[in-house]
Amino acid sequence: MMKLTERPEKIILEILEKAGYEAYFAGGCVRECFSGETAGAGDIDIATNALPEEVKKTFGGWKTVDTGIAHGTVTVIMPEDRGRAEITTYRSDGVYGDCRHPDKVEFIGSLKEDLRRRDFTMNAMAMDIRGRLEDPFGGRDDIKGKTVRAVGDAGERFREDGLRIMRAVRFSSVLGFSLEEKTERAAFENRKLLSRISAERLFSEFRKTVTGKDAGKAVRKYTDIIGVFMPELEAMKGFDQRSRYHRYDVLEHCIRAMEAVETTEKNREYMKLAALLHDIGKPQTYCHEDLGRGHFQGHGEKGGEMVKILLRRMKVDAFTTERVSLLVRNHDLMFHRNERLIKELMRKFTPGILLEILAVKKADNIATGNASGPLLEKFDEVGRMIEEITAGGDCYSLDQMALKGDDIKAIGVKEGPLVGRLLEELLEKVIDGELPNEKSSLTEAAQGLYKALKQ
Ligand code: ATP
Ligand code: MG
């Protein structure tokens, strides 16, 4: 990872120093130097004793953005966007009357006082251009000890800004750290404060939490905290499935699915969400027969609806909401090693989404604690078949058919629903292997079908 003192943004600090001000790298980018976080290219935050107006004057020739001018933050963008940084004037935060924003901030002259307002010791460090570390609260030791520790009294700090509770949960997941005892106790005690925090801020922490390397541990341990804004999760906790297929309660099963699900860089976040929420519909669809065995008729369907409501409430973007809901709704899809059936499913869902449903299904099975080797192998083989069909260019959708609507019209069929019906019937035959995907044979078959219909 690139050292902070080798980053192009270093020049921003040099310019501030030359102009007679103090300037330090601060916050997350300093933490990353010691925590082994791979992100590396995280935002650069700079703390300075220059006032916002002075910062803007100093960088008069460069582009600056008033990112949060009232809170002392100006973004400076280097020419040709070779680097950028958020420069914030040393400040102390007043009271957080609404538990979210400081009512008023006060610009101050001391770096140490600025570090004191920050949430955790690991985020309360600063470094100058010579690589000298300012670490008044022992952040470096806490990183070594893998500890999330509030700066000062944890309870007070959480009451100033409740979001910090969820930030602590997020850092424990992403970094694989534990919450220091008093910090953890205060997080639990003050968790109800989260009900006053905006959905956007909460979910931006939660989405990082589920993709963290210790996501399972964090969700398991802090269910009661997350449950304040996601009661759906709390309802899954301790819910006995009364099924010989399952070893775990609904929540533990879902956490294990989240841990097990295979993802790519691109789909990680929504796949983790889908796996964690895949049985969200179970508590509400439960009924049991005389022998005491549990059933959850329609829990996928119900779950898909619940996910939509949940994610909309959390103000999550439409794409993520729709995709997670679709994956949850279909997580019980049946897969067989049968090319024709697989093509039907590829047609219905598209290959990409079908592979995602398959991945959730596999994770679901692993997470029962009872999955057999042959079953898991079957999923892998179905996955390979989907990829082979895609790579081989086999026809499974109308787009790929060698015959188009215009060709149907050319044999004398009038514009209307019949055109589509004929195409669908021909596609069925191509998928079934009854017809090759060739224009001449398809045209002939279309003429035959049309003639039969007319009689
Ligand atoms: P990441 O960028 O990965 O989210 P980060 O630590 O950089 O992590 P930011 O939200 O970018 O987090 O904030 C930058 C710094 O500002 C933090 O390192 C911390 O020092 C301080 N900070 C951010 N949010 C809070 C908060 N709610 N309370 C106190 N300090 C905060
Ligand atoms: Mg940051």
Tens place of pLDDT per residue across the chain (455 aa)? 578 989 999 999 999 999 999 999 999 999 999 998 865 557 899 999 999 999 999 999 999 999 988 899 999 999 998 999 999 999 998 766 665 567 778 999 999 999 999 999 999 999 999 999 999 999 999 999 999 999 999 999 999 999 999 999 999 999 999 999 999 999 999 999 999 999 999 999 999 999 999 999 999 999 999 999 999 998 888 777 666 666 788 999 999 999 999 999 999 999 999 999 999 988 777 666 655 566 667 788 889 999 999 999 999 999 999 999 999 999 999 999 999 999 999 999 999 999 999 999 999 999 988 888 899 999 999 999 999 999 988 899 998 999 999 999 998 888 889 999 999 999 999 988 899 999 999 999 999 999 888 87
| pLDDT for position 126 | 98
Ligand 1 center from residue 307 Cα (angstroms): 29
Q: Whose CA is nearest to atom 16 of ligand 1?
A: 27
Mutate to test the pocket of ligand 1, among 24, 105, 118 (most ligand atoms within 8 A of CB): 118
Mutate to test the pocket of ligand 1, among 119, 157, 165 (most ligand atoms within 8 A of CB): 119
CA 203 to centroid of chain Cα atoms: 9
Q: Which atom of ligand 1 is nearest to the CA of 43?
A: 2
- Say which residues have a Cβ less than 8 Å from residue 285's Cβ, sequence separation at least 6: 296, 297, 298, 299, 302
Q: Whose CA is nearest to atom 25 of ligand 1?
A: 119
Asked if 318 contacts 301 with a C-beta cutoff of 8 angstroms, the reply is no
Which alpha helices (H) appear in 4-86, and where do they start and end? 10-18, 28-35, 52-58
Alpha-carbon span 2 to 289, nearest angstrom: 61
164 lines ligand 1 (CB under 6 A): yes
Helix axes 268-277, 199-211, angle to 10 degrees: 90
| pLDDT for position 446 | 92
CA–CA distance from 231 to each of 201, 241, 253, 304 (Å)?
A: 17, 19, 17, 16
Q: Which atom of ligand 1 is nearest to the CA of 174?
A: 3
Q: What is the DSSP letter of 150?
A: B
180 lines ligand 1 (CB under 6 A): no
DSSP-assigned beta bridge partners for residue 73:
68, 88
| pLDDT for position 432 | 86
| pLDDT for position 453 | 83
CA 17 to centroid of chain Cα atoms: 39
42 lines ligand 1 (CB under 6 A): yes
27 lines ligand 1 (CB under 6 A): yes
Which residue spans within 281-383 are E strands per DSSP? Answer: 287-288, 294-295
| pLDDT for position 101 | 64
41 lines ligand 1 (CB under 6 A): no
Ligand 1 center from residue 167 Cα (angstroms): 9
CA–CA distance from 221 to each of 40, 164, 171 (Å)?
A: 28, 17, 13
Ligand 2 center from residue 123 Cα (angstroms): 10
Ligand 2 center from residue 105 Cα (angstroms): 20
Which alpha helices (H) appear in 88-195, and where do they start and end? 111-116, 139-144, 154-160, 163-175, 181-189
Ligand 1 center from residue 29 Cα (angstroms): 10
Ligand 1 center from residue 28 Cα (angstroms): 6
Q: Which atom of ligand 1 is nearest to the CA of 118?
A: 30
Alpha-carbon span 30 to 126, nearest angstrom: 6
28 lines ligand 1 (CB under 6 A): yes
The number of CA neighbours under 13 Å toward the Cβ of 234 is 8
Q: Whose CA is nearest to atom 17 of ligand 1?
A: 27
Alpha-carbon span 192 to 158, nearest angstrom: 11
Alpha-carbon span 221 to 76, nearest angstrom: 40
Count CB neighbours of 448 within 10 A: 10
- Give the pair of three-digit tokens for residue 33: 């130097």
Of 422, 431, 207, the residue nearest 341 (C-alpha): 431
| pLDDT for position 235 | 86
91 lines ligand 1 (CB under 6 A): no
CA–CA distance from 419 to each of 237, 347, 366, 385, 416 (Å)?
A: 52, 19, 45, 31, 6
72 lines ligand 1 (CB under 6 A): no
163 lines ligand 1 (CB under 6 A): yes
Q: Whose CA is nearest to atom 9 of ligand 1?
A: 28
Ligand 1 center from residue 439 Cα (angstroms): 61
Ligand 1 center from residue 17 Cα (angstroms): 24
| pLDDT for position 393 | 86
Ligand 2 center from residue 100 Cα (angstroms): 18
